[in-house]
Amino acid sequence: MTGLRTGYPGLTHTAKQIAELIGACDVFVEPFAGLGRVSKFINANQIVLNDMSDFAVEHLRTNFPQAKVTQKDFLEVMRECDASNVTFFCDPPWSRSDYALNPKTYCDRGVGEYYKQLREFVNTCKGRWFIAGRASGGARATATVYFKEYEMRTVVSDRTINGYPVKTLLVSKYFNLMPSSKNKD
């Protein structure tokens, strides 16, 4: 692909299905909120959106006036918000090169480091968590490497890009507590 990437097609086209899998929340926290693609479909009493990108934070403040918007490292936000009534949705960078090509985004470490740090956090997390990742192929350092012992569901959009269906991998240990879904692999 040449030029700047125009967004994150996996979440653009699978956000609604992801929100349906997450379900209603008391407190919803998105530590890598980006443009809030999933957040706009979430049913929650309180929403906390965080991103390190100046562009994303401006967008979130404008488009989610009811949400608390922060600009901190994702782990700091997760530690501050962690409680039994919190649901985290994490969509860390899938490919560092995507961020390098787009000056409106933020990526300060390798993809594997994001997933490794998330893995360490969820081991002691009090809240529910869901982590997005690349559904097909891609770099070695994906959700399938760091979360292989957890259930994974591929969320498939009815949209296609270059003839291929748009997919997002969703990982969680909380699927077994939820109604079954047609999106389950």
pTM equals 0.83
pLDDT (tens digit, 9 = 90+) per residue, 59-74? Answer: 999 999 999 999 999 9
Q: Is residue 183 part of a domain?
A: no
CA trace torsion 97, 146, 140, 100 (10° rounding): 0
Q: Is residue 4 part of a domain?
A: no
Asked if the model's pLDDT at residue 132 lies above 80, the reply is yes
- Total domain count, the chain: 1
Question: Please, what's the b/e burial string for 159-173 (b: 16 or more CB within 10 A of its CB; e: otherwise)?
Answer: eeeeeeebbbbbbbe
Q: Is residue 147 part of a domain?
A: yes
Q: Is residue 1 part of a domain?
A: no
Q: Which domain holds residue 72?
A: 9-177
pLDDT range class, residue 184, cuts 50, 70, 90: very low
- 23: tokens are 């379900």
Q: Is residue 2 part of a domain?
A: no
